[in-house]
Amino acid sequence: MGQYDTPRYFRVDRIKDIMGHKKVFDTAQIPDFDEGLLRKQCQFMFYGKPRKICFKFSGPSIQAILDRLPTAKIIGHEKGTYTIEADIQGDGIKMYLLSQGSWVQVLEPSDFVAEMKAEIDKMRLLYSDD
């Protein structure tokens, strides 16, 4: 196993230089890969583990959430607040949900809730008067 055995993502329009080498890859050893599914689940090209998340959204446009997260499903709705479940991959979802401010409350999984709380605590320190 080498240093680069995990998937890497590159935007073709941002590549400035490329260096070829003589290593030949055997495509029979490459596992099946569904690029469309990856695009639906991965936000902002931040790779990470796949997981199912659940969150509440109380903002003005549930459609904006559903458009941004193609795997999202509404599993509940009460008094203007939607409960959403989505299969995602990577850490870009944290950036996206944080951008929604107080309209979002992550419910599951518990490790993701802890990540969100930790990030919000770091953000709060940026605005402390101390």
User: Domain for residue 71, yes or no?
Assistant: yes
Residue 2 falls inside a structural domain: no
Residue 29 lies in a domain: yes
> Per the structure, how many domains does the chain have?
1
Residue 116 placed within a domain:
yes
Judge whether 112 and 106 are in contact, CB under 8 Å: yes
Scanning 9-50, the segments in alpha helix (DSSP H) are 35-41
pLDDT at 1 over 50: no
Task: Provide the pLDDT confidence category of residue 129 given band limits of 50, 70 and 90.
Answer: confident
Q: Which domain holds residue 63?
A: 12-126
Q: Which of the pair, 2 or 94, is modelled with greater confidence?
A: 94
Q: Kindly state whether residue 95 falls inside one of the protein's structural domains.
A: yes
Please choose, from the candidates 84, 93, 85, the residue with its C-alpha nearest in 3D space to the C-alpha of residue 112: 93
Dist CA 38 CA 41 (whole Å): 5
> What are 46-90's pLDDT values in tens digits?
667 788 999 999 999 999 999 988 899 999 999 999 999 999 887
Q: 5 lies in a domain?
A: no
Residue 82 lies in a domain: yes
pLDDT of 34: 64
Task: Provide the pLDDT for residue 9.
Answer: 61
- Comparing 16-20, 75-79, 101-105, 107-111, the range with the smallest average pLDDT is 16-20
Q: Is residue 4 part of a domain?
A: no
